[in-house]
């Protein structure tokens, strides 16, 4: 079902949404998925601006397609060429496919432009000057990036709130200095998530640190699939392969209060960040994190011999084809861990490892939920047919918000 049909469903059900919500336990899986999508539609639909607020807003705010009420609203676009980008408008990775060079003389000039800031620089003036500089340096999404930086320095949590503050306010010396510092990082092609140090994922605000993989918006839909499939009081033992910042596992712990998550990652930085985010969110008692990979000597596989089996394996694994790595923008290539992106010639190295080890890790009839490249679903089905000894079957495919086959459900069926 495409987005327009979801919107039509949303309109028809708007008056009965409370009744629809109260009957969730009686819905089948696909109805639950519709409900999840409707929640996202309502959450992502921007409120109609009042005439007064529109008149008061500076020109560069009037065309902002601000969606949602979280601190960092999703701004969708279809112009992104990156396979992992998820078509998010405020995505630091919206760059042309041709590689962009970052010369040493550009590094030297990152700070030189800041002299254009006057001692009586206003909020709107700072945004305008940042936007002009970012456009000159071919920084993607220059307008939104400028607004995020100034809003963050002022302690404003939402761009919708930022548009309502006094734009003629004079920035203090400390604020100007901080704006210049963050803007210089953006000119050096640092992703906004790393610059701000945190980012929203579903209902959670997660700390972000380079080089740990930045969660993309479509991965929220992977969590939605599990939330729709299982009951909220299910006592699930979940294994997450490739935890990164902990976005998936921590979201599942937030949704399933009786669940326990075991997370693993090949990156020590990712393991430490997941633990830090879990501590901030108060769910460390239901999470165990391991610095390991799925190999024949994996501690998790050895431990499974003594009775520990999981109901669910969930993963947003590395899934880029090696040949596609050169198409990524400089924000990704210079900052994010390539191990979280590159998955070999076919982009299936980690996916195959998960399937191979499923018989040692899953309970019989347990499920594997994956986010993949759009080309992978046919490849996975063919590979499973060629390897029946793994006793894993391909159950279903699911679309992302651009109507591309992005997620799949596999099942261990001995």
- Which CATH number is 342's domain given? 3.40.50.150
352-367 mean pLDDT: 95
- With a cut of 90, say whether residue 219 has pLDDT above it: yes
Tell me the pLDDT band of 113, cut-offs 50, 70 and 90: low
- With a cut of 70, say whether residue 51 has pLDDT above it: no
Domain-located, residue 259: yes
Same domain? For 192 and 204 the reply is: no
pLDDT for res 157: 81
349-356 mean pLDDT: 96
Tell me the pLDDT band of 334, cut-offs 50, 70 and 90: very high
Same domain? For 282 and 188 the reply is: no
Same domain? For 290 and 367 the reply is: yes
303-331 mean pLDDT: 89
Domain-located, residue 265: yes
- With a cut of 90, say whether residue 382 has pLDDT above it: yes
Query: Using alpha carbons only, what angle is made at residue 79 by residues 78 and 85, rounded to the nearest 5 degrees?
Result: 80
pLDDT for res 36: 52
Same domain? For 307 and 181 the reply is: no
Tell me the pLDDT band of 38, cut-offs 50, 70 and 90: low
pLDDT for res 299: 72
Same domain? For 107 and 236 the reply is: no
143-157 mean pLDDT: 93
Tell me the pLDDT band of 119, cut-offs 50, 70 and 90: confident
Tell me the pLDDT band of 305, cut-offs 50, 70 and 90: low
Tell me the pLDDT band of 259, cut-offs 50, 70 and 90: very high
Domain-located, residue 371: yes
Tell me the pLDDT band of 296, cut-offs 50, 70 and 90: low
- With a cut of 70, say whether residue 111 has pLDDT above it: no
Contact predicate 231/413, CB 8 Å: no
Domain-located, residue 22: no
Same domain? For 158 and 203 the reply is: no
Same domain? For 271 and 407 the reply is: yes
Same domain? For 186 and 202 the reply is: no
Question: pTM for this one?
Answer: 0.74
Percentage of the chain beyond pLDDT 70 is 70
- With a cut of 50, say whether residue 55 has pLDDT above it: no
Picking from 137, 161, 196, the residue at the C-terminal end of a domain is 196
Domain-located, residue 215: yes
Structural domain total, the chain: 3
Same domain? For 87 and 137 the reply is: yes
- With a cut of 50, say whether residue 139 has pLDDT above it: yes
- For the record, the structure tokens of 138 come out as 């071919």
Same domain? For 224 and 356 the reply is: yes
Domain-located, residue 153: yes
114-121 mean pLDDT: 75
Tell me the pLDDT band of 117, cut-offs 50, 70 and 90: confident
Contact predicate 261/286, CB 8 Å: yes
pLDDT for res 316: 97
Same domain? For 315 and 233 the reply is: yes
Q: Per mean pLDDT, which range of 16-30, 123-137, 216-230, 305-319 is the poorest?
A: 16-30
249-254 mean pLDDT: 98
Domain-located, residue 21: no
**Average pLDDT score over the chain:** 78
- Per-residue pLDDT of 64-77, as tens digits, reads 333 333 333 333 22
- Per-residue pLDDT of 75-106, as tens digits, reads 322 223 233 333 333 333 333 333 333 334 44
Tell me the pLDDT band of 338, cut-offs 50, 70 and 90: very high
Domain-located, residue 326: yes
pLDDT for res 302: 65
Picking from 196, 229, 256, the residue at the C-terminal end of a domain is 196
Whole domain around residue 32: which residue ranges?
A: 1-14+28-45
Q: CB 213: neighbour CB atoms within 10 A?
A: 25
Picking from 196, 227, 246, the residue at the C-terminal end of a domain is 196
Same domain? For 213 and 274 the reply is: yes
Rounded distance between C-alpha atoms, residue 272 and residue 266, angstroms: 11
| Top mean-pLDDT range of 110-124, 129-143, 247-261, 288-302 | 247-261
- 399, β-bridge pairs: 405
């Amino acid at each position: 079902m495409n987005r327009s049909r979801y919107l039509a469903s949303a309109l028809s059900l708007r008056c009965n949404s409370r009744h629809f919500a109260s009957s969730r336990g009686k819905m089948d899986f696909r109805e639950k998925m519709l409900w999840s999508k409707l929640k996202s539609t309502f959450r992502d639909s921007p409120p109609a601006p009042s005439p007064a607020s529109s008149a008061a807003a500076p020109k560069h705010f009037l065309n902002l397609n601000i969606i949602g009420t979280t601190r960092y609203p999703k701004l969708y676009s279809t112009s992104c060429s990156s396979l992992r980008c998820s078509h998010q408008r405020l995505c630091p990775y919206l760059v042309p496919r041709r590689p962009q060079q970052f010369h040493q003389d550009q590094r030297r000039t990152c700070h030189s432009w800041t002299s254009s800031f006057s001692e009586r620089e206003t909020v709107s003036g700072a945004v305008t000057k940042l936007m002009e500089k970012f456009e000159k340096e071919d920084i993607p999404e220059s307008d939104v990036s400028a607004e995020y930086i100034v809003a963050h320095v002022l302690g404003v949590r939402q761009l919708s709130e930022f548009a309502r503050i006094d734009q003629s306010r004079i920035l203090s010396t400390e604020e100007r200095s901080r704006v210049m510092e963050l803007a210089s990082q953006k000119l050096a092609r640092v992703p906004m998530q790393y610059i701000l140090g945190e980012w929203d994922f579903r209902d959670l605000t997660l700390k972000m640190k380079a080089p740990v993989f930045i969660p993309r918006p479509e991965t929220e839909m992977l969590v939605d699939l599990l939330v729709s499939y299982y009951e909220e009081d299910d006592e699930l033992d979940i294994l997450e392969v490739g935890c990164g910042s902990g976005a998936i596992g921590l979201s599942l712990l937030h949704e399933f209060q009786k669940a326990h998550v075991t997370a693993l990652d090949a990156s020590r930085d990712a393991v430490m960040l997941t633990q830090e985010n879990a501590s901030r969110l108060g769910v460390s008692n239901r999470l165990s994190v391991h610095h390991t990979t799925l190999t024949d000597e994996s501690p998790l596989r050895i431990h499974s011999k003594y009775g520990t089996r999981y109901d669910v394996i969930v993963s947003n694994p590395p899934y880029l084809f090696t040949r596609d790595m050169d198409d990524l923008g400089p924000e990704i290539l210079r900052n994010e861990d390539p191990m979280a992106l590159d998955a070999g010639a076919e982009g299936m190295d980690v996916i195959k490892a998960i399937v191979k080890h499923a018989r040692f890790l899953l309970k019989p009839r347990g499920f594997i939920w994956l986010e993949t490249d759009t080309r992978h679903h046919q490849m996975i089905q063919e590979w499973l047919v060629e390897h029946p000894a793994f006793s894993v079957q391909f159950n279903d495919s699911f679309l992302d918000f651009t109507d591309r086959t992005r997620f799949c459900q596999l099942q261990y069926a001995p």
